[in-house]
Copies of this chain bind each other. A is one copy, B any other.
Amino acid sequence: MSGFMDSRKAAILRAVVDEYVQCAEPVGSSLLARIAGIQVSPATIRNEMNLLEHEGYLTQPHTSAGRIPTDKGYRYYVDTFVSDTNDSDVMQFQSVEEFFTKAHGALAEMFSDTSRLLTNLTNYAAVVTGPSPETVLIRSVQLISLDPKRVLLLMVDSKGAVEKKTLELSIEISESELEVASNFLTRRLRGVPLGSLDEPEPLGEPLVDQICVLAVESLREFQGETESVYIEGASKVASAFDAVDTVRRVLVTLEQHFLVVSLIRDVLSKGQKVAIGSELGIAPLAECSVVVSPYVVEGEQVGSIGLVGPTRMNYPKVLAAVNLVSAGLGKRLSEG
């Protein structure tokens, strides 16, 4: 067992992945001999494939079938043959470019539209996570009277997102007092990260102070809510697998947003952009791969986009799409 990957073995592995991704059927030695740029006989290819199987890169569904890649096989393929540079074809590039120049509107729509764009580009499920609360700064705080005992708290953050909440008061408060409180809060909290809010010093006016305390309390709650996730492409999942069981399992998993978010976070924290099958550590997603990319706004990484498809996916194309969309989103958000 020469547990070592010479260039011919690598070429064969590559060809198996390419072929299987395209046709979804186990690929045999004779097919490879015909197709690939490998000028050796099927018998030689069989020998190599045998080695590749023993080393864990390929597997056989059954004795008399061709080979399909294992997760380890995909991993080698991705690490060796898929470049992370944006060498995508021009058509895609243009459509993405166009999308981001035309796109405007609220942040939430921006994210969900981006998610839809990515799912349509790739035909797999797309995930876009909004900015995490640590990177969000408070820009403005407004208090708007709904009726004498209820006030709407509005917060605008540094990314232009708006959060709101209704405050219930035990006592009545006048519009002018609200204005004082609004101004005080905005002046005091502008530029403060949403993640690190402390109590404001009292102003001396009991009514205003009371509402300020209430407001800061509520602002803290926004911390959790700014964690937003946009997942699109359920129908693509149904197209990607032919066992309805698998479809169900994957969709159920994707509906647990926190799970998807932490999954993406985990992949990124390992410095990876791709995670394959068992690498995900989530049983229902054993047949899935995830491709992720953070996006950068004004030099700062604020969120990430991801893609969930079958392990048997076109990695080069998907990686290019994810890179492109994350770059586009970052650029767009830096401008607006």
Q: Chain A interface (Cβ within 8 Å of chain B)?
A: 104-106, 108-109, 139-140, 142, 144, 146, 152, 154, 156, 160, 162-166, 225, 232, 234-235, 237-239, 241-244, 247-248, 251-252, 254-255, 336
Name, among A144, A154, A238, the residue most crowded by chain B CB atoms within 10 Å (CB to CB). A238
Q: Choose from B104, B144, B239, B254 the contact partner of A140 (Cβ within 8 Å).
A: B144
Where chain A touches its partner, the secondary structure class is mixed
- A164 partner residues in chain B, CB cutoff 8 A: 106, 156, 160, 162
- Given the known interface contacts A247-B247, A252-B235, A255-B235, the answer about A166 and B336 at a Cβ–Cβ threshold of 8 Å is yes
A293 → chain B closest CB, angstroms: 24
- A104 partner residues in chain B, CB cutoff 8 A: 165-166
- A163 partner residues in chain B, CB cutoff 8 A: 106
Q: Choose from B109, B140, B243, B251 the contact partner of A234 (Cβ within 8 Å).
A: B251
Give this chain's copy count: 2
Which residue on B lies nearest to A152, using beta carbons?
A: B156
Q: Choose from B152, B225, B238, B248 the contact partner of A248 (Cβ within 8 Å).
A: B238
C-alpha spacing A238/B246, complex, angstroms: 9
Q: Choose from B105, B234, B238, B336 the contact partner of A244 (Cβ within 8 Å).
A: B238
B105 contacts A108, CB within 8 Å?
A: no
A232 → chain B closest CB, angstroms: 8
23 pairs of residues in contact across A and B, judged by CB atoms under 8 Å: A105-B225, A106-B164, A139-B144, A140-B152, A142-B142, A142-B154, A154-B154, A154-B156, A154-B162, A162-B162, A162-B164, A232-B255, A234-B235, A234-B251, A235-B248, A235-B251, A238-B238, A238-B244, A239-B248, A241-B244, A242-B244, A243-B244, A244-B247
- A142 partner residues in chain B, CB cutoff 8 A: 142, 144, 154
- A152 partner residues in chain B, CB cutoff 8 A: 140, 156, 160
A166 contacts B160, CB within 8 Å?
A: yes
C-alpha spacing A156/B109, complex, angstroms: 17
A248 → chain B closest CB, angstroms: 4
- A248 partner residues in chain B, CB cutoff 8 A: 235, 238-239
Which residue on B lies nearest to A256, using beta carbons?
A: B235
Name, among A234, A252, A254, the residue most crowded by chain B CB atoms within 10 Å (CB to CB). A234
- A252 partner residues in chain B, CB cutoff 8 A: 235
Q: Choose from B162, B234, B241 the contact partner of A255 (Cβ within 8 Å).
A: B234
- A251 partner residues in chain B, CB cutoff 8 A: 234-235, 238
- A336 partner residues in chain B, CB cutoff 8 A: 166
Which residue on B lies nearest to A231, using beta carbons?
A: B234
- A244 partner residues in chain B, CB cutoff 8 A: 238, 241-244, 247
C-alpha spacing A201/B241, complex, angstroms: 60
Which residue on B lies nearest to A253, using beta carbons?
A: B235
A155 → chain B closest CB, angstroms: 10
- Given the known interface contacts A164-B162, A238-B247, the answer about A156 and B144 at a Cβ–Cβ threshold of 8 Å is yes
A100 → chain B closest CB, angstroms: 15
C-alpha spacing A234/B239, complex, angstroms: 13
C-alpha spacing A167/B197, complex, angstroms: 29
5 cross-chain pairs, A with B, having the tightest CB-CB distances, nearest first? A234-B234, A235-B251, A238-B248, A235-B252, A244-B244
